[in-house]
Amino acid sequence: MELFDAFYQIARSVDDCFALIELPSGQLPEVTRAISRLQALAEQLQSWSGRIYQKLSRNLKNWAPQLFSYQPILRQALQPLQTRYGLKAITALARMWQIEADQKR
């Protein structure tokens, strides 16, 4: 049960890495920090015994940069909306969207 609890915590942390919006700021997460966080979680799994954990650790570590490669495109797509409606409006909508997405998980 202890292993399950530890894995559950890591899985939730990995899931949190993929939130599109940071609630405190209402902005997209900073890419290098998100990559580092995901790779740190991969490092935790690396010490676990079992092929599945080793594979998951390698995949998270190696794929992390590509998993966040959408962010520059999304930032660019949001720019005209921020210009048209204002940063406060887009930030508020982004926070509401993220809260709704979190509730569905």
Write down the residue that tokens 């982004």 correspond to: 94
pLDDT tens-digit map of 66-77? 999 999 999 999
Distance from the Cα of residue 48 to its chain's centroid:
23
Domain ranges of the chain: 2-104
CB 21 within 8 A of CB 28: yes
Write down the residue that tokens 């809260």 correspond to: 99
For residue 83, is pLDDT > 90?
Answer: yes
pTM comes to 0.79
